[in-house]
Structure 1
Amino acid sequence: MEGYNRVTLTGNLTSDPKLSQLADGRPVATFGLAFNRFGAGSQTTRQTENTCFVDVVAWGQTAKIASEHLGRGNRVLIDGALKYEEWDADGMTRTQHKITALSLIFLGQGGSRDYNRVTLIGNLINRPELVDSSPEGRAVAKFRLLVRRSFTDVRTGQPRRDDCYADVEVLDGQAEIASQRLSENSTVFVEGILMHEDLTNEDGRFREYWIRAQRIVAFSLDVFRLDSGDSTLLEEP
């Protein structure tokens, strides 16, 4: 089925946007974003100083605007999509998540609590695994979601496909329900917040991202996207 992939974040740039050009002349800008992982969109009153960091990439006119008008420390609202990358390095598979920015809104300095919202529709790669508890002492179920979207490349007119893999964790009562009722290939709607943890292995430090789900809806039938106006991937190479 056709997936859905949307991320909305507010936060502060950790670096000036770096503008470059692809071989065909299209501009691309990259920068880092820092935001509160328990933002206003997370529906929680828990106070925390934990901050999430993520790399952002913007294409085309959005890239030009970012490079011309944004700088380190600026506060922005980003509407975009979660991007999954996988490559081989020295015989080992490496993975990384980024945010593809579709639009940017400059919010100035300071501001209210950060907004952190991820909305996905996809299929489970594995049956949810129920573990005893999270670090906060809560029941947890974990699974991996495949969000697959097809689109037409605006430059070549050729059909293309984008696969985004996202790890999802479900807490408390929903964790038990998910482990009992969901299975491999189940189609689900997931709404939650973006989380990360800095880890270390024999190859050095790396960053692991996942979605902490706050709402999950399971579909018994295929869901067809009626709105064909999702241009999330139209600016990507």
Structure 2
Amino acid sequence: MGHMTADPELKQTTSGISVCSFSIGVNRRYSKADQSQQSVDFINIVCWRQQAEFVSRYFKKGSSIVVCGSLQTRNWTDNQGQKRYVTEVVADEVSFGAPAANQGANVAADKPQGQAYTPQAYGNPSFNNAPAANFEEYPGDESLPF
């Protein structure tokens, strides 16, 4: 989970497949000399096809985003003959993160509207009655500089 550092960049391959590249900033907390510290890691993300179009349409710089995917390193030779490498997350799943307090109602207006849940359509779900105290809520991070 992080915040987009810039607007996503949507391109088409020569065969017409949509590909979207973007970067997210993710807070990393650690202790140094018994003091809590924080820094930001910047992670490159790439997604393909309908997911690429979804990201380019509904996300922009500063949007909170949740990404699940796999880490991939690829390489190529540039025009000067230098071998180049890039490591990025290839997104398998992308979803909206917690909206920042200052985004307010604008976020809800930008989200696609899905069908409403009806129990008749999905049957009766069964829930594990484990106490909710076993789970820790992850708050959105609004202290990122973008």
Give TM-score scaled by structure 1 length: 0.38
Which of 54, 58, 61 is the matching residue for 2:47? Answer: 58
| C-alpha deviation, 1:46, in angstroms | 6.8
Secondary structure of residue in 1 paired with 2:57: helix
Further displaced range: 81-90 or 105-114 = 105-114
Instruction: Give structure 1 stretches of 5+ with no counterpart.
Output: 1-9, 40-44, 115-237
- Structure 2 counterpart SS, 1:78: strand
- Aligned-pair CA distance for 1:93: 2.5
Kindly indicate whether the alpha-carbon contact (under 8 Å) linking 1:38 and 1:46 is maintained by their aligned counterparts in 2: no
Distance (whole Å) between structure 1 residues aligned to residue 26 and residue 18 of structure 2: 26
Check whether the contact 2:97–2:140 (CA below 8 A) recurs between aligned residues: no
Greater strand content: 1
Q: 1:107 and 2:110 equivalent?
A: no
Q: Call closer, same or farther: CA 1:46–1:113 in 2, change over 3 Å.
A: farther
* Map of 1:129 onto structure 2: none
- CA root-mean-square deviation: 2.3
Count the aligned residue pairs: 100
* AA partner of residue 77 (structure 1): V
Aligned equivalents of 2:35 and 2:81: distance in 1?
A: 42
Q: CA 1:46–1:26 in 2, change beyond 3 Å: closer, same or farther?
A: farther
SS class of match (2:37):
coil
> In 2 relative to 1, CA 109–27 (structure 1 residues): closer, same or farther, beyond 3 Å?
same
Contact persistence 2:8–2:59 (CA under 8 A)? yes
Listed one character per residue, the Cα deviations across residues 176-222 of structure 1 (whole Å, up to 9, x for unaligned) are: xxxxxxxxxxxxxxxxxxxxxxxxxxxxxxxxxxxxxxxxxxxxxxx
What does 1:76-225 align with in structure 2 at a 5 Å threshold?
76-89=65-78, 90-110=80-100, 112=139
**Higher fraction of helix:** 2
User: Residues 74 and 88 (structure 1 numbering): CA distance in 2 closer, same or farther, change over 3 Å?
Assistant: same
Distance change in 2, residues 1:28/1:38 (3 Å): same
The secondary structure found in structure 2 opposite 1:49 is: strand
Q: Which structure has the bigger radius of gyration?
A: 2
Alignment partner of 1:11 out of 2, 11, 16 = 2
User: Partners in 1 of 2:51 and 2:36 — Cα distance?
Assistant: 34
Higher relative contact order (CA 8 A, sep 6+): 2
Gaps of 5+ in 2: 101-137, 142-146
